[in-house]
Chains A and B, each alone.
Chain A
Amino acid sequence: MNVDSSILDIIRAKKLIERRDIAPRIREEGDFVVVDAKGLHYRILNEVVYELAEKYKKIKLINVNGQRYIADGLRGDYYIEIHGTAGDDLGAFMNGPEIVVYGNVQDGAGNTMNAGKIIVHGNATDILGHSMRGGVIYVEGDVGYRVGVHMKEYKDQVPIIVAGGTAGDFLGEYMAGGRIIILGLKRRFTSEIVGDWIAAGIHGGAIYIRDSIEEDRLGYGAKIAEFTEEDKKYLAKILEEYCRTFGYDLNKILEHEFTKIVPESHRPYGKMYTD
């Protein structure tokens, strides 16, 4: 079904988007509006998404390949489905929407997001969830370097990142709050569940890694804390939705050993400087 032509008029009216072929790319499908992103410049695609969001709550983007900034700064209870590889900074500054990606996401997904959900049926790369303040990111497979760098929490806003595969170096670097959970269920290219310098500079929040971790792989300011029954209960609660999403067996996941990593103190560098 064709979409409301007034929306297309608005899109066309924007100077940026002069293409005549924009109409055939957009159609309604049930309560979704579907956009074929094939070959579209990211500015056009995102402009279309913002305009459609005026009317539709459910947006499906197909043939996405590398377009950046999708749903950046979007606020409200949207449901956005992406088929393909989402480009850099997916959902940055986002406040509320749920994004489900069938494919991989490139660097910086969930950058500084405030609320909402990003679900990736694939892998993510570096600086996933950078400075994230709220919401959740679920990744089925691997995540890259510096995941959750400078994540923070504020009052009842506690951001969460869960990855089913492995993570690179500097996981939870400078972390100031929130939770990161790495499950290591699939280890595609490495036997190591996470890289080195874990939680370097951490001063808030916690990281759960489903494996044993040697002390010397922690970064400055991090320590290993006891993994308690309390933690297990917490994970059971948090991972319930995750497992449902990707079809993992929650009990099997929880049977395994976990390592919990927390800050040594909230002011790790207090002693380092003198005046």
Chain B
Amino acid sequence: MGFPPEFKVVVDKEKCIMCRRCTIECPYGVHVWDEKKKTIIRKEENCVACQRCVFTCPTKAIQIEVRPPAYSPHPVWTEKVRRDIRLQAETGSVLLVAMGNEEPYRRYFDHLVIDACQVTNPSIDPLREPIELRTYLGAKPDYLELEESYSDIKLKTELTPNLKLETPIMFAHMSYGSISLEAQKSLAMAAKEMGTYMGSGEGGLHKDLYPYADHIIVQVASGRFAVHEEYLKVGAAIEIKIGQGAKPGIGGHLPGKKVTEEISQTRMIPVGSDAISPAPHHDIYSIEDLSRLIYALKEATRYKKPVFVKIAAVHNVASIAVGIIRAGADGVVLDGFTAGTGAAPQVIRDHLGIPIEVAIAAVDQRLREERIRNRGSIIASGGIRSSADVAKAIALGADAVYIGTAALIALGCTVCKQCHRGKCAWGIATQDPKLRKRLKPEEGARRAANLLRAWSFELKEILGALGLNSIESLRGNRDRLRGIGLTEVELEVLGVKPAGR
């Protein structure tokens, strides 16, 4: 049983000059040259609306439209539900999807508004007055011990290593394998330029990325691919991945067919073999085991790097985070349920986990109640779409954020949700050498850095409007947020007052 196409490919015959560019650009076989008929035929059923042809057509002759619903409407048995069932009836398989949660849950960011100054305190103009975004990630002591001698003051306390960010936005972990080397390079270059960091993902570090390693947080995931002593030492920090927001409780799987020569070298596994990340770390079945791994990594790197632990935001995220900080981590990464992924079972992606906003609020509050908020940073990740989201995440209590999908969009991604198929038309989620060429790292870096630049500037505008000249005065400052259209319980969980109060 086939499916009616989801999209309509509309070509303006008057504009089309038959250059055949679209037949080359489209990796999904929509535009196909028919040698016999000397014309292009369009296989609409293959179209994923990646927009590649639309952008590259020299005469802008192509438009992709959503087909009007082909099914008789039903509020419960939506078209999507019916499609899914038919597909599963056909294949007997788990539905595999890419990018983030698509269910229409409440997005709390869209129910929070930010304060501004009027009269009583002057707003600050970021164009002329200094506004600081520098952020340090890592453990801070409860207080500083000083040695006061007659003439000067000396520090007794030594701080453990922290990461210095010039803007509180980092690029999320996306492994080499799930995305192309060009995409990783783009982000690494941008991170270095902007004084921030990118996550390596769990696929190891390609040797081309070593020059940027001081701006890369290297990940240690359950598969331990490519985790070796040098990898740990070159990175700026280490992140243990317990779970990810798009698929809490689920491991990862890079199919053997994607394990090319280069990937095999980087991941240190044979060409063509499946790369399987087990759901749990098999040396971590409890919190004390996590502590053992944290300290094993700290020992191995002579206590020179902060070690973070990433978890998916789940129901009891607050107590888990407390455990993680007490276990010795320098920070906890919370990955909300709208986080993107290169591939995940749809049922997991759309139904497990909790929103990032709630997770930040709960974790920040609990760490304070336990009086250990200073002992680790909170890095929020998953579904951060704009500088406003960044500001709200920080006001709720995050120290910094990771952006994944937004960073990819900066590189050209159109969120066509086909990452798992490895044919990304924009050269991002693919290992195909021809497709990879479409992304030039210099251009990608320029765009990714620009995004950070623009968002950083917008953050300064927000801080200025709040009358704050430094980001630390926004951190955890829920007093400057108000909720709109939220229930009393939701407001309580988020720790914000309703608008008007």
Contact = CB atoms under 8 A, between A and B. Distances in A.
Interface string A234-275: 000000000000000000000000000000000011001010
B197 to A, nearest CB: 25
Interface in B80-136: 125, 127-130
A219 B130 CA distance: 9
B457 interface: yes
A174 interface: yes
Contacts of B130: 197
A170 B128 contact: yes
Contact of B128 (A219, A272, A274): A219
B54 to A, nearest CB: 22
Contact of A197 (B128, B454, B457): B128
A153 interface: no
B128 A201 contact: yes
Nearest to B453: A272
Contacts of A174: 125, 128
Interface string B437-458: 0000000000000000010010
B386 to A, nearest CB: 14
Q: Is the interface of A mostly helix, strand, loop or mixed?
A: loop
Contacts, number: 25
A220 interface: yes
Nearest to B457: A272
A130 to B, nearest CB: 13
A200 interface: yes
A200 B129 contact: yes
A201 B464 CA distance: 15
Contacts of B129: 170, 173, 197, 200
Give the interface size class of chain A. 10 to 19
Interface in A196-211: 197, 200-201
A200 B457 contact: no
Contacts of B454: 274
Nearest to A200: B128
B2 to A, nearest CB: 44
A118 to B, nearest CB: 25
Contact of B127 (A170, A220, A274): A220
A173 B125 CA distance: 11
B457 A173 contact: no
A200 B128 CA distance: 5
B184 to A, nearest CB: 27
B456 to A, nearest CB: 12
A105 B125 CA distance: 27
Interface in A161-192: 170, 173-174
Contacts of B125: 174, 201
B63 to A, nearest CB: 24
A56 B130 CA distance: 48
A23 to B, nearest CB: 41
Contacts of A197: 128-130
B457 A220 contact: no
B448 to A, nearest CB: 16
Contacts of B128: 170, 173-174, 197, 200-201, 219-221
Nearest to A199: B128
A268 B457 CA distance: 15
Nearest to B126: A220
B463 to A, nearest CB: 16
B454 to A, nearest CB: 8
Nearest to A174: B128
A230 B125 CA distance: 34
Contacts of A220: 127-128
14 contacts: A170-B128, A170-B129, A173-B128, A174-B125, A197-B129, A197-B130, A200-B127, A200-B128, A200-B129, A201-B127, A221-B127, A221-B128, A268-B127, A272-B127
Given A220-B128, A221-B128, 17 more contacts: A170-B128, A170-B129, A173-B128, A173-B129, A174-B125, A174-B128, A197-B128, A197-B129, A200-B127, A200-B128, A200-B129, A201-B125, A201-B128, A268-B127, A269-B127, A272-B127, A272-B457
**The 4 residue pairs across chains A and B that have the minimum distance between CB atoms:** A201-B128, A200-B128, A201-B127, A173-B128
